[in-house]
Structure 1
Amino acid sequence: MTDAPVRIAEADEDRAVLAFSGDLDAPALRVLEESLLDPRLRRPKAWILDMSGLDHIDLACAYALLRTVTGTPEPVALTVRGARPAVHRTLRQAGLDTVAAFTA
């Protein structure tokens, strides 16, 4: 894969959109964690995780998303958009459904 599995598609004061693609699994975990530390994600009060291009996510990556969102000093409104059924299932198993709204 030539593209990173996650990229910040846009970020401003109000919201950040993270676009996911391909597979998020153990080899991609470090890239994900580094992306989630990007300073552009500190200001927005809402994150949209566009997972329409994501084929697979493993539990370690799903937990990394959950840790990041629940560990922010200020609450972040989280929306997961376009997750395929298998991705949605893994995110639910990690508990992300307790802190995120899911949309088609």
Structure 2
Amino acid sequence: MADEGPARPQPGTVRIAEADGKRVVLAFSGVLDAHVLRELEERLRDQRLRQAGAWVLEMSDLERLDLACAYALLRAVTSAPEPAALTVRGARRNVQRTLRHAGIDVVATIEE
């Protein structure tokens, strides 16, 4: 049997886990990379995000985040006339590093 090499990581997903008009919780999982960038950008245009004054990014199930996706997050949160308060929860060290490279730490609270 031929070696098939390492399996491709589970593609990333982003879903709105909670939205009450004041606060929205986005739950991330898998690997967010160029393969899911367009889907991520579409999800970040959801009207519920524009109405919320606070965003919580729940990233405990996120294995990896590439820089393009991190920039998409930064653009989404800072493009609103009244930027939302942003909190990142549960991000792994490699994900935190990517978020910092994109500059998200300037506009967000990153909880360990």
Give the TM-score normalised by structure 1. 0.94
Q: Which residue of 1 is the match for residue 68 of structure 2?
A: 60
Question: Are 1:34 and 2:56 matched, yes or no?
Answer: no
Q: Which residue of 1 is the match for residue 24 of structure 2?
A: 16
1:12/1:43 contact within 8 Å kept: no
Aligned Cα RMSD in Å?
A: 1.2
1:26/1:60 contact within 8 Å kept: yes
Gaps of 5+ in 1: none
Deviations along 1:34-75, one digit per CA (max 9) or x if unpaired, are 100011111110000000000000000000000111111112
1:66/1:95 contact within 8 Å kept: yes
Gaps of 5+ in 2: 1-9
Give every structure 1 segment of 4 or more consecutive aligned residues whose post-TM-superposition deviation is greater than 4 Å. none
2:33/2:68 contact within 8 Å kept: yes
Distance in 2 of aligned mates of 1:53 and 1:95: 21
Q: Between Structure 1 and Structure 2, whose CA radius of gyration is higher?
A: 2
Q: CA deviation at 1:13?
A: 1.7
Q: Which residue of 2 is the match for residue 93 of structure 1?
A: 101
Give the TM-score normalised by structure 2. 0.88
Amino acid at match of 2:55: W
